[in-house]
Amino acid sequence: MIGRPLNGHTSCVLSIAYSPNGQHIISGSRDRTIRIWDAETGVAIGRPLKEHAGNVWSVAYSPDGQHIISGSSDRTIQIWDAETGALVGMPLQGHADKVKAVIYSPNGQHIISASNDRTIRIWDATTGAEISKPLMAHTDFVTSITCSPDRRHIVSGSWDTTIHVWELLPHPPIQPSLSYNQIHAEFYAQPDANGWVRDSKNDLLYCVPTDCCTGLHSPALLTIPSTSHTRSVALDFEDFVFGTSWAKIFNSANA
């Protein structure tokens, strides 16, 4: 045991988490509050965060430590400013039963929640909008979730005695009508064995380094091997020049 117990909640403590920098501990309780503690001294910081109308089953920090999220029996997910304790935006609503687990994706772009309604939901961490249909396969309460470090998979555990592995963001085939670039949909072609992406006339468009060719996903998002120091890159084709025009730009830049 290190130090004394952290006392302050008036009912069962249901969830705890460290801040990314290790300086704070957060806790969620059946008393419907979230508390923030100094990890070194054990002293409560500020007032309890009160907004939920039910038990706080799960709490988590964002990877950058700027936000706290909480899931509750009131079927909502709240986002809080970790520094001020103020609510950020509106509660995330969609679950039809208690929210038992909430986490951030490793890059902080998504919030993932699990519920007694037997579903997992994925939310945009900035807008609060759901970004996919609920993930449904479990036949009982979903009480635990985690995300793989490479951001590719979600793992969920349920009262149905099973564990399921899911794609965090499935990549459906891109239809030309849904392409970000309606004129040059062929920019999203797969690279060949040498890394070259070609247009519909088989002309060279651009080259992807061969060690990065593990997949070219929707839309033009390169999946970089986990051994690479680069996680992922997005290709912006707004001012893209192809065909013979690239030579003019090259010559102009080196004139």
* Domain residue limits, the chain: 13-167, 176-253
Is 123 a residue whose pLDDT tops 90?
Answer: yes
Flag whether pLDDT at 230 surpasses 70.
no
How far apart (Å, rounded) are the C-alpha atoms in residues 120 and 154?
A: 9
Q: Is the pLDDT of residue 158 over 50?
A: yes
Q: If 0-12 CB within 10 Å is exposed, 13-18 middle and 19+ buried, where does residue 177 land?
A: exposed
pTM value? Answer: 0.65
Residue 145: C-alpha distances to residues 45, 140, 162, 228 (Å):
28, 14, 12, 26
Check whether 146 has a pLDDT greater than 70: yes
- Average pLDDT of the residues in 169-184: 40
pLDDT at 236 exceeding the cut of 90 = no
Report DSSP letters for the chain, one per residue.
Answer: --S------SS-EEEEEE-TTSSEEEEEETTSEEEEEETTT--EEEEEEE--SS-EEEEEE-TTSSEEEEEETTSEEEEEETTT--B-SSPEE--SS-EEEEEE-TTSSEEEEEETTSEEEEEETTT--B-SPPEE--SS-EEEEEE-TTSSEEEEEETTS-EEEEESS--PPPPGGG-SSSS-GGGGPPP-TTSEEE-TTS-EEEE--GGGTT-EETTTEEE--TTSS--EEE---TT---TTHHHHHHHHHT-
CATH class of 13-167: mainly beta
Q: Is the pLDDT of residue 178 over 50?
A: no
Tens of pLDDT, residue by residue over 20-48, are 999 999 999 999 999 999 999 999 999 99
**pLDDT attached to residue 150:** 79
The pLDDT tens digits of the residues spanning 54-105 come to 999 999 999 999 999 999 999 999 999 999 999 999 999 999 999 999 999 9
Q: How large a percentage of the chain has pLDDT more than 70?
A: 68
Cα within 13 Å of Cα(114), Cβ side: 27
Position with higher pLDDT, 59 vs 181: 59
Q: Is the pLDDT of residue 244 over 70?
A: no
**Distance between CA atoms of 147 and 161, rounded to whole angstroms?**
19
Mean model confidence pLDDT for the chain? 79
**Over 70: is that where the pLDDT of 144 sits?**
yes
What's the pLDDT at 204? Answer: 72
Weakest-pLDDT range from 49-58, 103-112, 201-210, 221-230: 221-230
- Report pLDDT for 187: 44
Position 127: which residue type?
T
Q: How many angstroms separate the CA atoms of 16 and 36, rounded?
A: 10
